[in-house]
Amino acid sequence: MNVPVRTWLGPNIEALADSHPELARRLKAMGAPVRLEVIPARTGRPVLIKNRVSFHSRNDPDEEAARFARSPQAEAALEAGLTPIVFGFGLGYHVRALSAFFERLAIWEPDPEVLHAALSLFDWTDLAPRLTFLTTGDKTPDRLKARAALLIHRPTERLYPADCARLQRELEADPPSGPGTDTGSGMKIMLVTPLYGGSLPVARHAGRALTGLGHKVIEADMTGLDPIHQQVKKAAAPEERKDAVGRRLIALAGEYLAFLAEAERPDLVLALAQAPLDIRTLSRLRGLGIPSAFWFVEDGRLMSYFREVAPAYDFFFHIQGPDMDRELKRLGARSIHYLPLAADPACFRPIDDVDRLRRYRADLSFMGSGYPNRRRVFGELLSYDLKIWGTEWDLSTPLGARVQDRGRRIPTEETAAIFNAARINLNLHSSVFSTGLDPAGGFVNPRTFEIAACGAFQLVDRRRPIETHFDCEREMAVFDDPADLSRKIDFYLIRPELRRDMSLRARTRVLAEHTYTHRMRELVRQVGRAGG
């Protein structure tokens, strides 16, 4: 095979040695493949050929790979939270494309020579920790079979139809240990959503992650109460009267939730911030023997209601640091755990549709609400090509002229397009305590993880927790004050390759450590530990 003398085989085998020691040993002992041919595609990229079958497009293998990653089968796997088992590696173009959407991938390659060729031609050291390789004679691990989606590389199937059929039969057999294989026995979890607000999409992401982990999720969707709640808030009535009606509304919601829990008998009731669960309802859950958990995904300095309900929950998860731990202990909370926000790769991922992104293009972009500190800081950036998306901005000001679509509320799927389209995404944490940056803020907002999951570049205000989640030199660009923000905008705008490299590293970090699957796995683990 006409593989270049300088190959990536050595570094790739070294990267595989820890997770695949036997495969690494076999590949190292192999000689150069002799039954394979490599020719250039029209784009100049190498194409592997065996027995006159091309493993990839001879025109544009990268474009073909992008179509594979967007196929209905791949999209269905992503939406269901399944791990792809890809039959056929070839030179891996399609695997590289899939890696932009999935945290982990399993590769079933029947021909070790093909794998040897791919590892010789391309650098796979960055993706090696996220790949599971299987070949002839290997048994598919039970943990993969239980939550797997088979994606077939058709040229490989053409060459090895019997191997492909055998793998299909294996995966179609009943899973060995049911839906909860990933985390142990699957739980029945009643997920209580808030009525509205920023924690509502977090509830949706959490539910999707729990389902993907093999748990049965019963969603207690409380958003139907929001129109009534909003009418009460806007009514021309004394505040004490509106407060009384609001409390009755929450009590009614609690009655419904207690009824649903009694009927469904879940293993856990999980509530997100602003969910309408009061102390009385939580006491009834405890009386039923149903444990409750609260994920408080808001700033405790602003939202003080948690102090009243914290002791009534069996588990309290929060996004802030040691100060919150100490406050919760003082309040008498039972089982306290730090659980930061995350990203949902099914929603936040790279988008390469030029037409879809065109209207969102900008040098600088911000998506979020118009808090006072953001109005002040962004007001100094009017010399740049700046677009602002979101609500609660003063449209009558010079900065307001940069607000798009008159400040309408932006749905999640459109947010991902905004992040993808910007050269630089501005990410300034909201604050009512500062007119600029708020370094005392003890949490990282979801935007930080979501922009990174899109493979998009961001400038984010420095906060201590960011440095625990990302490498702030290689993955995440941070700024310390408005002047530093302007300097770094100028620096990064003229360095597109640096932006791209940092964004790719940040995305890799998110997929490896900071998805809602990671968070829900940890939440269930903590609940399981307490239950013995």
* CB-based contact 55:47 (threshold 8 Å): yes
Q: Does the residue 178 lie in any domain?
A: no
Confidence of residue 531 (pLDDT cuts 50, 70, 90): low
Kindly state whether residues 494 and 427 are assigned to the same domain.
yes
Q: Does the residue 347 lie in any domain?
A: no
Q: Does the residue 180 lie in any domain?
A: no
Question: What's the pLDDT at 182?
Answer: 47
Q: Report how far apart, in Å, the C-alpha atoms of 345 and of each of 114, 340, 404, 413, 460 are.
A: 30, 16, 26, 11, 20
Looking at the predicted structure, is the pLDDT value of residue 226 above 90?
no
Kindly state whether residues 203 and 98 are assigned to the same domain.
no
- The CATH number for 442's domain is 3.40.50.2000
Bridge partner residues of 435 (DSSP): none
Question: What's the pLDDT at 180?
Answer: 40
Question: What's the pLDDT at 178?
Answer: 38
The region of weakest confidence among 28-37, 344-353, 470-479 is 28-37
Q: Does the residue 501 lie in any domain?
A: yes
Looking at the predicted structure, is the pLDDT value of residue 446 above 90?
yes
Question: What's the pLDDT at 532?
Answer: 52
Summarize the confidence of residues 519-525 as an average pLDDT: 95
Question: What's the pLDDT at 393?
Answer: 97
Kindly state whether residues 438 and 524 are assigned to the same domain.
no
Confidence of residue 35 (pLDDT cuts 50, 70, 90): confident
Kindly state whether residues 194 and 257 are assigned to the same domain.
yes
Q: Does the residue 182 lie in any domain?
A: no
Return d(Cα 369, Cα 389) in angstroms, integer: 8
Looking at the predicted structure, is the pLDDT value of residue 304 above 60?
yes
Element holding 530 (H helix, E strand)? helix 516-530
Question: What's the pLDDT at 488?
Answer: 98
Give the structural domain span for 490.
Answer: 354-513
Domain end marker among 144, 172, 200:
172
Question: Closest Cα partner for 94 from 39, 26, 45?
Answer: 45
Kindly state whether residues 100 and 16 are assigned to the same domain.
yes
Bridge partner residues of 133 (DSSP): 107
Question: What's the pLDDT at 185?
Answer: 59
Kindly state whether residues 382 and 330 are assigned to the same domain.
no
Q: What digits encode the pLDDT tens for the residues 486-496?
A: 999 999 999 99
Kindly state whether residues 37 and 140 are assigned to the same domain.
yes
Kindly state whether residues 221 and 237 are assigned to the same domain.
yes
Question: What's the pLDDT at 181?
Answer: 39
- Specify the DSSP class assigned to residue 347: T
Question: What's the pLDDT at 512?
Answer: 81
Average pLDDT for the chain: 90
Domain end marker among 103, 137, 172:
172
Question: What's the pLDDT at 215?
Answer: 93
Kindly state whether residues 109 and 47 are assigned to the same domain.
yes
Backbone φ and ψ for 325, nearest 5 degrees, come out as -55, -45
Looking at the predicted structure, is the pLDDT value of residue 106 above 80?
yes
Count structural domains, the chain.
Answer: 3
Question: What's the pLDDT at 174?
Answer: 46
Summarize the confidence of residues 109-114 as an average pLDDT: 93
Q: Does the residue 453 lie in any domain?
A: yes
Count, residues in the chain = 532
Q: Does the residue 348 lie in any domain?
A: no
Looking at the predicted structure, is the pLDDT value of residue 4 above 60?
no
195 CB contacts (<8 Å, ≥6 apart)? Answer: 222, 223, 225, 226, 229, 274, 276
Question: Closest Cα partner for 531 from 320, 366, 338, 293?
Answer: 293
Kindly state whether residues 477 and 522 are assigned to the same domain.
no
Of residues 376 and 76, more confidently modeled: 376
Of residues 195 and 64, more confidently modeled: 64
- Percent with pLDDT over 70 in the chain: 95
Q: Does the residue 183 lie in any domain?
A: no
Kindly state whether residues 506 and 524 are assigned to the same domain.
no
Q: What digits encode the pLDDT tens for the residues 153-199?
A: 999 999 999 999 988 888 876 443 433 434 445 899 999 999 888 89
Q: What digits encode the pLDDT tens for the residues 357-383?
A: 999 999 999 999 999 999 999 999 999
Q: What digits encode the pLDDT tens for the residues 396-416?
A: 999 999 999 999 999 988 999
Which region, left, alpha or beta, applies to residue 261 given φ > 0 means left and ψ of -120 to 50 means alpha?
alpha
Looking at the predicted structure, is the pLDDT value of residue 434 above 80?
no
Q: What digits encode the pLDDT tens for the residues 453-481?
A: 999 999 999 998 999 999 999 999 999 99
If you search the block for the tokens 């770094």, which residue do you land on? 488
- Quote the tokens at residue 261: 């829990």
Confidence of residue 440 (pLDDT cuts 50, 70, 90): confident
Kindly state whether residues 167 and 245 are assigned to the same domain.
no
